[in-house]
Structure 1
Amino acid sequence: MKLMWRYTIKNKKLLFFNFMFVFGFILIELGLPTLLARLIDNGILKNDVEYVKTIGLSMIGIVAIGIIMNILLGFVTARITTNIVESIRNDLFEKIQSYSHNEYEEIGVSSLITRVTNDAYQIMLFMQNILRIGFTTPLMFIVSLYMVVRTSPSLGWYVLGALPFLLIGILVIAKKSEPISKGQQTNLDRINAILRENLSGLRVVRAFVNEKFEEKRFETVNEAYTESSKKLFRLMAIAQPGFFFLFNIVMLLIIWSGSIQIDSGDLLLGDLIAFIEYIFHALFSFMLFATVFMMYPRAAVSANRIEEAFAAEPLIKDKEDGVTTTETKGYLEFKNVTFAYPGPSETPVIRNISFTANPGETVAFIGSTGSGKSTLIQLIPRFYDVSQGQILIDGVDVREYKLAALRQKIGYIPQKALLFTGTIGENLRYGKEDATLEEMNRALEIAQASDFISQLSEGVNTRVSEGGTNFSGGQKQRLAIARAVIRQPEIFIFDDSFSALDYATDARLRERLGKETTESTTLIVAQRVGTIMDADKIIVLNEGDVVGMGTHKELLKSCAIYYDIAASQLSEEELAK
């Protein structure tokens, strides 16, 4: 409830109007039975037509004001709740942006999506009911109860006798609904996870003819979610008839007892009708409040899940007074770097790595799958922090930088080229926000992407579909390279970013990059020896250890692992060069 109240209190002015309209609506609703009693006792029963007209017109006026109050209450409530859900989603999205890879893996991407969307929506629904019904019904109940006791204390005991039964019913239902709500939201996480996997891996599913398997997997989780929902609906379905059954019993007893008192002259007919109205408002208000209260466990589950996301402390923390500028640019040094992924496994992925890279140099990494190549270069922009040792950029430990300043120095091209929905131009401006058309064309030319862009009727204004699926793997890689080039970073990191290119395009691109990166440090992770033969320094990794370091020719003579890799890819003539 703290989370919901924290965001609600931000709308102080709207809350004030909400309370004002609630209070006005209650006064009007409870004023009508009093006027109705006077109309019957002093007007209709005494045949006073003028009195009936006066009271009748007053009642019409009060009803009109009540309608206006109700409309305004609905408007203010909607504004507050939409503001609440907007703020929660904005703050949660901002918090998620600060997560390291570890937090994404712990909570799960699908679960985070559910928390931002469905959990925030559940809180909005609950707050709508709280602000409109939750605030109105307690006041309505208290005032109605007072009017009941004031009108006829003897009949009031029937109402008070029914309250314990109502209260017990509410508490039982609330207790039973909480674990069901937790299970329901967990099952929703699993639905999102399976749906996300299926849509992103649709080609693989179809290639292996596993549509039926995926359908069965989704059906199983969806059935579990449906069962949770059914249990909640059954609880609510039982609650409402139960309340109405008790309500009707109380009303029958009051009418029976009231008719006896009217017959004996102890109670006026108008007072009995007003009393019935007060009873209706009292019990109906209690029933509505009970319905809102029964929604609380589900909202509380959603609020706790959002609080959990807010409470997650990123392993990679920004340094508030971190370094933002340096005198030198592009100097990189690894000092005895060892790294193990966070979690139960403490086995290092890379061990005791040391090397230097200077501006204008190209340093390449090669090795078998799982040797730690991609892990090593992901330590530079602090996607993870080293377990031991230091990584220095321009003589400063990367942990001493402001994260934005550190990453501004780096142009990172990931192993899997990712394009965002929008246009080609918007994707390029992801690297440089104010990039001109001339700068974009130059970056595309360097990345060897101009040839296929020129064939598109809209050029850089061509739309990119979700995930860039309207481009081939090689086209996406070249666009991702252009996005990094346009930034003109101090350090280029190519994480196997040429794998989807043919040899001729690969050679032209590297030749062109070589001319443009004379003042930048270039790091290349590759599987193909042909991609890194001309590197100034090649580092050979095997199971996390450096087993060779030098130029292509030096490693052919000194490193058996490198020679084996080269021999599997190059001809004897190329090896002999």
Structure 2
Amino acid sequence: MKLILEYLKRYKLWFVLNVISVFGFALVELGIPTIIAYMIDQGVMNEDRGFLMKMGALTAVISLVGVCGTILLGYCCARISTGVAHDIRQDVFRKVQTFSHSEMNEIGVASLITRTNNDAFQIMMFMNVILRTAVLTPVMIVVSFMLTVRTSLNLSLIIISTIPLIIIGVIIVGKISSPISERQQSSLDSINRIFRENLTGIRVIRSFNNDEYESGRFDEENVNFMKQSKKLFKLMSSTDPIFFWMMNMAIIAIYVVASFMIDAGTLPVGKLIAFMDYVFHAMFSVLLFCLVFMMYPRANVSAKRIRKVLKTESIIENHPDHTKKETEKKSIVFDDVTFAYPDGEEAVLQHISFEAGSGETVAFIGSTGSGKSTLIKLIPRFYDVSAGRILVNGVDVRDMDIYHLRDRIGFVSQKANLFSGTIEENIRFGNREATMEEVVHAAKVAQAYDFIMEKPGQFQERIVEGAGNVSGGQKQRLSIARALVRHADIYIYDDSFSALDFRTDAKLRKELKKEMTDEIVLIVAQRVSTIMDADQIIVLDEGKVVGKGTHKELLKTCGVYHEIAASQLSEEELAYE
């Protein structure tokens, strides 16, 4: 409930109106039976037409107030519940934006999607019900019981004896439903994960003809979710008949006792009619209150899952030290850097040291798993170093404002990710203020201009979800154009030329060399031909630097580099070098 109360504070005015509308609704529901009782016992019995007319007019006024109260109650409930759900989704999304890869892996992408959508929806539904009943039902219960006791104490004892049985039943249902709700939400996480994996990996699944296997995997989890849902729904649906049966038994008992009282002349007929209305509202309010308690376990599970996201703090803390000034000359320094993943035991990078200055191109090469991509991800602080330090323009990246740091970096990831939208929007993603001329120029440098112009919509051609309507090489070139339009100080290419043919690769590197006169360029590559012209090549092997120098120097001094080059270049090219 803490989470709901925190968000409810944002809607104080609407909540006050909600409470006012509740009293208007209660006035009608409990006032009209009282007036009718007077009309029967005094107006009808005494044949007083004037009294009946006056009471009829009062009933019409109260009914009008009730209609207004009901409309206002519905609007306030909808306004608050949907507003809270909106705020929760917004806060969860913003919080996730601050997460590092470690927190993403800990909670899981599929689970984050479920928490943002389904869990927020569960809280919205719960709030919609509780806002209608949290204030209304206590008022209706208290006032109804007061009126029943005032009307007939003997008949009231029958109702009072029934309430504890209903409350005990609600507590039992709540305890049983809570673990089922937890299992249901966890199962929904798994369904989202499997479905997401199936959609993103559909080509791999089809190429290996594993459609039936994936269908079976999904069906297994779907059946599990169905079983948990059936248990929950059966439990909830079984409570209503039991509660209504208890209420009907109490009403029958009331009629039996009332018949003797009327026969004895101790209970007027009008009071009995009013009493039954009071009983109905009292019992129905109790059932509504029970409904809230039965919904609570499921909403509580969702609230806990959302609270976990909101309370999770990123291991990447942003505490900029503004006293440390950057040097005018652009530079990157790795000073004895060691890194191990938060959930890992062994360091994947050990004692890495190198420097890169303004206008220099530094390349990284090594076998798969040598730590190349991990190394460059430390610069924009996707992870923080375990030991040592990384200096950008003379300042430790941990002392810089993280947003300022990333503003200065044009990053092209190993997996080229494009977003739904036009080609222009995807390129402009790197710089929202970029002019169309800058977008076109970046596309030309990235060797993307020609294939863009061949598209029917050219720069307004839409990229579908998952970028399925462009090839791997086209994705990479658009990703490079997106980084170029940023006009950054540091450009990082994480194996961003792997899908390009040798001709396009050569043309792209030639244009980049013309463009990058003062910027620092860091390139991770598998192809020797891509990095031969780099000012400095760093060779990694099992997380350690085993070679450092130019292409020609490394061929002579580094066995690992010579082995990689020999596997890709001809003997003539090696001899020539």
Identify the TM-score tier after normalising by the shorter chain: over 0.9
In the TM superposition, 1:136-535 aligns within 5 A as 136-322=136-322, 326-343=326-343, 345-535=344-534
Partner residue of 2:135?
Answer: 135
Q: TM-score, normalised by structure 2?
A: 0.98
Letter in 2 for 1:196: R
Q: Deviations over 1:87-140 (max 9, x none)?
A: 111111111111111000001011111111111110000000010122211110
Q: How far is the alpha carbon of 1:323 from its aligned partner?
A: 7.0
Partner residue of 2:116?
Answer: 116
Give me the whole-angstrom Cα distance separating, in 2, the residues matched to 1:437 and 1:14.
Answer: 46
Checking the alignment, whether the CA contact within 8 Å between 1:335 and 1:355 is kept in structure 2 is yes
Task: Write out the 4+ residue segments of structure 1 that deviate beyond 4 Å after TM superposition.
Answer: 320-325
Q: Deviations over 1:381-402 (max 9, x none)?
A: 1100111111111111111100
SS in 2 for 1:326: coil
SS in 1 for 2:10: coil
Aligned residues: 576
| Identity of matched residues, % | 52
Q: TM-score, normalised by structure 1?
A: 0.98
Checking the alignment, whether the CA contact within 8 Å between 1:155 and 1:254 is kept in structure 2 is yes
Checking the alignment, whether the CA contact within 8 Å between 2:430 and 2:486 is kept in structure 1 is yes
Q: How far is the alpha carbon of 1:324 from its aligned partner?
A: 9.0
In the TM superposition, 1:536-547 aligns within 5 A as 536-547=535-546
Checking the alignment, whether the CA contact within 8 Å between 1:411 and 1:484 is kept in structure 2 is yes
Q: Deviations over 1:59-113 (max 9, x none)?
A: 2332232122111110111011111111111111111111111000001011111
Give me the whole-angstrom Cα distance separating, in 2, the residues matched to 1:327 and 1:541.
Answer: 29
Give me the whole-angstrom Cα distance separating, in 1, the residues matched to 2:470 and 2:566.
Answer: 33
Partner residue of 1:12?
Answer: 12
Q: How far is the alpha carbon of 1:325 from its aligned partner?
A: 6.5
Letter in 2 for 1:17: L
Give me the whole-angstrom Cα distance separating, in 2, the residues matched to 1:324 and 1:23.
Answer: 61
SS in 2 for 1:338: strand
Q: How far is the alpha carbon of 1:442 from its aligned partner?
A: 0.5
Give me the whole-angstrom Cα distance separating, in 1, the residues matched to 2:309 and 2:255.
Answer: 54
CA shift in 2, pair 1:141/1:324, >3 Å: farther
Unmatched runs of 5 consecutive residues or more in structure 1:
none
SS in 1 for 2:411: strand
Checking the alignment, whether the CA contact within 8 Å between 1:372 and 1:543 is kept in structure 2 is yes
Query: What RMSD over aligned residues (CA atoms) do the two structures have, in Å?
Result: 1.2
Checking the alignment, whether the CA contact within 8 Å between 1:41 and 1:269 is kept in structure 2 is yes
Letter in 2 for 1:92: V
Give me the whole-angstrom Cα distance separating, in 2, the residues matched to 1:307 and 1:423.
Answer: 36
Letter in 1 for 2:370: S
Checking the alignment, whether the CA contact within 8 Å between 2:446 and 2:508 is kept in structure 1 is yes
Partner residue of 1:571?
Answer: 570
SS in 2 for 1:10: helix
Q: How far is the alpha carbon of 1:182 from its aligned partner?
A: 0.5
Give me the whole-angstrom Cα distance separating, in 2, the residues matched to 1:80 and 1:28.
Answer: 24
Give me the whole-angstrom Cα distance separating, in 2, the residues matched to 1:541 and 1:323.
Answer: 35
CA shift in 2, pair 1:554/1:320, >3 Å: closer
Q: How far is the alpha carbon of 1:321 from its aligned partner?
A: 4.4
Letter in 1 for 2:56: G
Q: Deviations over 1:324-378 (max 9, x none)?
A: 97342430111111111111x3201011111111111111111110010000111
Checking the alignment, whether the CA contact within 8 Å between 2:324 and 2:395 is kept in structure 1 is no
Letter in 2 for 1:330: K
Higher mean alpha-carbon deviation, 285-294 vs 51-60, is at 51-60
Q: How far is the alpha carbon of 1:466 from its aligned partner?
A: 1.1
CA shift in 2, pair 1:467/1:304, >3 Å: same
Checking the alignment, whether the CA contact within 8 Å between 1:323 and 1:402 is kept in structure 2 is no
Partner residue of 1:107?
Answer: 107
Give me the whole-angstrom Cα distance separating, in 2, the residues matched to 1:368 and 1:106.
Answer: 28
Q: How far is the alpha carbon of 1:411 from its aligned partner?
A: 0.7
SS in 2 for 1:337: strand
Give me the whole-angstrom Cα distance separating, in 2, the residues matched to 1:10 and 1:356.
Answer: 51
SS in 1 for 2:417: coil
SS in 1 for 2:156: helix
Q: How far is the alpha carbon of 1:322 from its aligned partner?
A: 4.7
SS in 2 for 1:501: coil
